[in-house]
Amino acid sequence: MLDVKDVVTAYGKIEALKGVSLSVEPGSITCLLGPNGAGKTTLMYTIAGILRPRRGSVRFGGDELVGQSADRVVNRGIALVPENRLVFPQMSVTENLAAGAYLRHDHGEIASDLEKLFARFPALKERRSQPAGTLSGGEQQMLAVARALMSRPKLLMMDEPSMGLAPLVVEEIFRIVGELNRDGITIFMVEQNAHMALKVAHKFFLMEQGKVTFAGAPGEVAQDEVIRRAYLGSAKAT
């Protein structure tokens, strides 16, 4: 579904992505691990059309995305749940969700999708008229996910969905991730909580210093000594 090839993205003279290549299969949950500053968010923004790469290719369903505006990327079927949620704090829950459908014109279907999301996220329904800034961190994360779903994406990108959340809320977020995937949405997520990601993801990539240094299935992740030390809390048994 998504094929990133030899992508270089820079901030001035500093290359944040140094020839990144990876792929996301349709119907899968793919997880990108990596330390802070590795370039993970830069990759997400490059795919989403927010940043333009210096060179390389980003193909989605066979179509080239490089050079497309962010709204065109959304229209192609990609939605991003950004790091730190970035909900509109002064707007109500309902207004935030409506913002997720700003490129759509099928108003009857938008209303139907809104009610379906309130059924999926009961806490949001209870707070539909509240300003988003008054919600808890977990509720804001659910709102950010729901807002992205209002664009009816084929690929949902999630940047650190568990960041700053209590353990029980993290479990709920990952339950929702699995549920969305079973409903047919392909998911590409950046996540530091490797233990939780191992429960749901089908494939993993590791990014370090702007390069992909590992690609493998969950079983291979658990056997990789570097990943075990950095993300799973133990070294490979000898």
Compute the average pLDDT of residues 32-49. Answer: 95
Amino acid at position 38, single letter = A
**Contacts (Cβ under 8 Å, ≥6 apart) of 56:** 4, 5, 6, 7, 8, 17, 19, 20, 66
pLDDT value of residue 236: 46
Q: What percent of the chain shows pLDDT beyond 90? A: 79
Q: Round the average pLDDT of the chain to a whole number and report it.
A: 92
Supply the pLDDT for residue 234. 55
Interatomic CA distance for residues 54 and 17, integer angstroms: 9
Give pLDDT, residue 238: 35
What's the CA gap between 192 and 125, in Å, rounded? 29
Domain that holds residue 163: 2-232
pLDDT at 231: 77
In a domain, 238, yes or no: no
DSSP state of 2: E
Q: What is the pTM of this model?
A: 0.91
- Residue 178 forms part of a structural domain: yes
Q: What is the model's pLDDT at position 195?
A: 87
pLDDT digits over 169-206, tens only?
A: 999 999 999 999 999 999 999 998 888 899 899 999 99
Asked if residue 195 is part of any domain, the answer here is yes
Q: Is residue 237 part of a domain?
A: no
**Residue 78 falls inside a structural domain:** yes
In the chain, the N- to C-terminal Cα span, in Å, equals 38
For residues 213 and 40, give the distance between their C-alpha atoms in angstroms, rounded to a whole number. Answer: 13
Q: How far apart are CA 51 and CA 58, in angstroms?
A: 12
Count of domains forming the chain: 1
**Is the pLDDT reported for residue 226 higher than 80?**
no
pLDDT score for 85: 83
Task: Place 233 in a pLDDT band, splitting at 50, 70 and 90.
Answer: low
The CATH number given to whatever domain includes residue 191 is 3.40.50.300
Q: How confident is the model over 41-59, as a mean pLDDT? A: 97
The answer, yes or no, to whether residue 210 has pLDDT greater than 50, is yes
Kindly state whether residue 86 falls inside one of the protein's structural domains: yes
- Segment 68-74 mean pLDDT: 95
CB 147 within 8 Å of CB 139: no
In three-state secondary structure terms, 203 is: strand
Residue 181 falls within a domain, yes or no?
Answer: yes
pLDDT in tens, 80-95: 999 888 899 999 999 9
What pLDDT, on a 0 to 100 scale, did the predictor assign at position 232? 72
Say how many C-beta atoms besides its own lie within 10 A of residue 235's C-beta.
10
pLDDT of residue 30 exceeding 50: yes
User: What is the DSSP code string of 135-161?
Assistant: S-HHHHHHHHHHHHHTT--SEEEEEST
Helix/strand number for the chain, H first, E second: 10, 10
> What is d(CA 144, CA 209) in angstroms, rounded to the nearest whole number?
28
Q: Give 94-142 pLDDT, tens digit per residue.
A: 999 999 999 888 988 999 999 999 999 999 999 999 999 999 999 999 9
